[in-house]
Structure 1
Amino acid sequence: MGIAFHKMHGLGNDFVVIDARVQPVSLSEAHIRAIADRNTGVGFDQLIIIEASTEADARMRIFNADGGEVEACGNATRCVARLLGSDVRIETLGGILHGRAAAGGVSIDMGQPRFDWQTIPLAYAMDTRDMPVGWDGLERPSAVNVGNPHVVFFVADTHAVPLDMLGPRIETDALFPERINVNVATITGPSAIDLRVWERGVGLTRACGTGACATAVAAIRLGLATGPVTVSLPGGALEIAWQPGESIIMTGAATHVFSGEIDTGWLG
């Protein structure tokens, strides 16, 4: 018997979603990497496994293409909310998130951002609003944890940054004991940001919901933008609403592409 799955994406950030409430699954890191292969497998940025939850309507587990499990993914949360219904609570390692149908797709209450250096986490104490560090011209970022850790650099032209080279260096720097998602952003208007993201365990991605949240929060915190902020990524735009002391609300599309079945014999 094969493993039933849904192929979905949020602005091109794509997922294989397996509902393990219907059919329990057990996948090793090698299995996940095999399914992630875009030439010989299904292909995805993240594998999502939906499980039963005693604290919410369902539990969502998130695995990057390298097989590692991570805490949160905003685009995936919108996709799971679309699958489960218009008003759902979803348990993640990053906390319980609330999804609702909205004009333009799905809105997710991502909870409150965290700024303390211990909760990013960083290897040692520093001001996460204006960090006195840099890598080859990328300097003085902000750090935000929005269920997973992000560092945000504001630059004159995000497309001029060689993120494919700098991203992996910053991701694995000793300053970030749990690695880091790397965002480079350009302010294009009072409430508009262009963004590119190097995603931890994935690489360059067409869209990153938590990256959009972290970047909008950092911009508002620094006085560079006022919310709600439209964050434009290569795959499309997300609207991020946040005020200090409140939850982040992310709104954007969630697309179901097709359903299929993975041959378990092929996985070995």
Structure 2
Amino acid sequence: MSLEFVKYHGLGNDFILVDNRASTKLRLTPDRAVKLCDRHFGIGADGVIFALPGQDGTDYTMRIFNSDGSEPEMCGNGIRCLGRFLADLETTDTEVSKQKYLIHTLAGVMTLKLEANGQVTVDMGMPYLLAAEIPTSLVDADLKVIDQPLDVAGQTWQVTCVSMGNPHCITFVEDVAAISLEQIGPQFEHHSAFPQRINTEFIQVVRSDYLKMRVWERGAGITLACGTGACASLIAGVLTGRCDRRATIELPGGCLEIEWAADGRIAMTGPATRVFAGNLEV
């Protein structure tokens, strides 16, 4: 089978995008997605994203496999790339593309807006804050996990947990550059307190409106950016009194603008860049 693909990245968090609009059946298996994500023997990516027909009144559906073959509920950088991909596909099909899309994901319905300056804004919806919603056993199921102690790698970390439809554990540190992600990240991800594993963000507060972030992503490892993680980190900063409700999040791949509005919804704005297109036999 011949497969056309396009590669995009959001702040260096890179994805293989596949046009799956003709069918609800995925065109690749998880095992095949793993091979394509291999940076030595494949195309190389943090994940494979499929654009499928919409559900329940949405324009399209998003599915994603991580580079290890697991399927996360959502991906913030990935959904921005999907927005650009869909606009490119529609322009090719009809010479006209939308500027706003409703996308069905396993984390709920997301609204994308393509900005005139090339950025993409995503209405990420409402965060989930109760332990049962993360999920985690750090506190009772009906309580929030804010500045709770967690023993990892021989030391105690103060962590705050947030779900953006996918689970995040955030800890604030003096210097993100000093964190050994290769060693510590897997121990957070597979900690017994997180039955569905966890994404982990290490955050340095530069100012109340500017945070630095490094991330270990569940199923992908070290990545240059994580959109849902940036959203979760701002929420954790607000909950712990460390930052404003609107801030710039600096990741290794670049910056995202995140706002937690008064109505409780999270908005994320950042770039999505087309890298190249190709065709391969699978």
TM-score, length-normalised on structure 1? 0.94
On the 8 A contact 2:17/2:85 being kept in 1, the answer is no
Give 1:245 deviation, angstroms: 4.4
* Residue range with higher mean Cα deviation, 2-11 or 101-110: 101-110
Which whole-Å CA distance do the structure 2 matches of 1:178 and 1:244 have between them?
Answer: 30
**Any gaps of 5 or more consecutive residues in structure 2?**
87-97
CA deviation vs aligned residue, 1:11-46 (integer Å, no higher than 9, x gap): 000000101114764322221111111111111101
Which whole-Å CA distance do the structure 2 matches of 1:61 and 1:151 have between them?
Answer: 23
Give 1:184 deviation, angstroms: 0.3
TM-score, length-normalised on structure 2? 0.90
Match of 1:29 in 2: 30
Match of 1:145 in 2: 163
Q: Give the 3-state SS of the residue equivalent to 2:186 in structure 1.
A: helix
Which whole-Å CA distance do the structure 2 matches of 1:159 and 1:244 have between them?
Answer: 32
Alignment match of 1:125 (pick from 122, 139, 153): 139
Give 1:243 deviation, angstroms: 3.4
For the pair 1:179 / 2:197, whether they are aligned, the reply is yes
On the 8 A contact 1:118/1:125 being kept in 2, the answer is no
Which whole-Å CA distance do the structure 2 matches of 1:28 and 1:99 have between them?
Answer: 27
Match of 1:89 in 2: 102
Give 1:229 deviation, angstroms: 0.7
Match of 1:248 in 2: 266
**Any gaps of 5 or more consecutive residues in structure 1?**
none
On the 8 A contact 1:104/1:251 being kept in 2, the answer is no
What are the equivalent positions in structure 2 for 1:10-159 lying under 5 Å apart? 10-22=10-22, 25-55=26-56, 56-84=58-86, 85-102=98-115, 103=117, 105-123=119-137, 125-126=139-140, 127-135=144-152, 136-137=154-155, 139-159=157-177
Match of 1:232 in 2: 250
Q: Which amino acid aligns with 2:251?
A: L
Which whole-Å CA distance do the structure 2 matches of 1:90 and 1:18 have between them?
Answer: 15
Distance 1:7 1:173, change over 3 A: same
On the 8 A contact 1:228/1:239 being kept in 2, the answer is yes
Which whole-Å CA distance do the structure 2 matches of 1:245 and 1:117 have between them?
Answer: 22
Give 1:261 deviation, angstroms: 1.2
* Residue range with higher mean Cα deviation, 124-133 or 242-251: 124-133
Give 1:222 deviation, angstroms: 1.2
On the 8 A contact 2:19/2:50 being kept in 1, the answer is yes
Distance 1:114 1:245, change over 3 A: farther
Which whole-Å CA distance do the structure 1 matches of 2:187 and 2:138 have between them?
Answer: 18
Give the paired residue count: 264
Which whole-Å CA distance do the structure 2 matches of 1:219 and 1:190 have between them?
Answer: 9
Q: Which amino acid aligns with 2:13?
A: N
Segments ≥4 residues shifted beyond 2 Å? 22-29, 123-127
